[in-house]
C-alpha cells in the first residue's frame, strides 16, 4: 500500500483543527497519539486528546492555524506559521512538528518560534 504524502496528512489535520472537526481529528490520530505543548507537557492517547480538543474548541471558538512554511523529511513534518486565538489578540507565531505513522498523526508538538527553536529544528 502506497503511503500518503506526510505534508498532506498534516494539512488535513490542520483543516480539521481550523474547522473544529472533532470527528476528522480523531480519524487522523493514532491510538497512541501524543500531544506536546510548548512547555513540553505530554498528553497521550487519541481518546484523551479527542476530549481535550473538544474542550479547547469550546474555550477558543475563533482559533485557527495558518501555515507559512511546511517541509518534511520521511515521516517528520515541520511547520512554521501562526495561530489566531481571537479578535484583538496578536497572532501567535509558532512552530509545529508532526510525526506520521501509517498515514496518521502519531505526535503533534508545538514550539515557540524562536531563533533557538529554529536552530534546534534546522530551520535556519
Terminal-residue alpha carbon distance, the chain: 35
pLDDT score, position 48: 98
Strand partners, 111: 95
Q: What is the mean pLDDT of residues 40-55?
A: 97
pLDDT score, position 124: 74
Residue 1's pLDDT band, with cuts at 50, 70 and 90, is: low
> Domain 6-120, what fold?
Nuclear Transport Factor 2; Chain: A, (3.10.450)
pLDDT score, position 88: 86
pLDDT digits 0-9 by tens, 17-44 = 999 999 999 999 999 999 999 999 999 9
pLDDT score, position 3: 87
Model's pTM, two decimal places?
Answer: 0.93
Q: What is the mean pLDDT of residues 57-75?
A: 96
**pLDDT score of 55 more than 90:** yes
Q: How far, in Å, CA of 91 to CA of 26, rounded?
A: 26
Spatial CB neighbours of 119, under 8 Å, sequence gap ≥ 6: none
Residue of 96, 111, 109, 7 whose CA lies nearest to 49: 109
pLDDT digits 0-9 by tens, 2-12 = 789 999 999 99
pLDDT score, position 89: 85
Domain boundaries of the chain, sorted by first residue? 6-120
pLDDT, the chain, mean: 95
Amino acid at each position: 500500500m502506497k503511503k500518503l504524502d506526510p505534508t498532506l496528512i498534516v494539512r488535513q489535520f490542520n483543516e480539521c483543527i481550523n474547522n473544529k472537526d472533532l470527528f476528522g481529528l480523531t480519524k487522523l490520530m493514532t491510538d497512541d497519539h501524543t500531544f506536546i505543548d510548548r512547555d513540553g507537557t505530554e498528553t497521550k492517547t487519541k481518546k484523551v486528546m479527542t476530549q481535550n480538543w473538544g474542550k479547547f474548541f469550546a474555550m477558543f471558538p475563533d482559533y485557527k492555524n495558518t501555515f507559512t512554511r511546511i517541509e518534511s523529511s520521511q515521516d517528520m513534518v515541520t511547520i512554521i506559521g501562526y495561530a489566531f486565538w481571537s479578535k484583538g489578540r496578536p497572532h501567535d507565531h509558532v512552530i509545529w512538528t508532526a510525526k506520521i505513522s501509517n498515514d496518521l498523526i502519531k505526535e503533534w508538538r508545538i514550539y515557540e518560534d524562536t531563533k533557538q527553536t529554529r536552530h534546534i529544528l534546522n530551520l535556519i
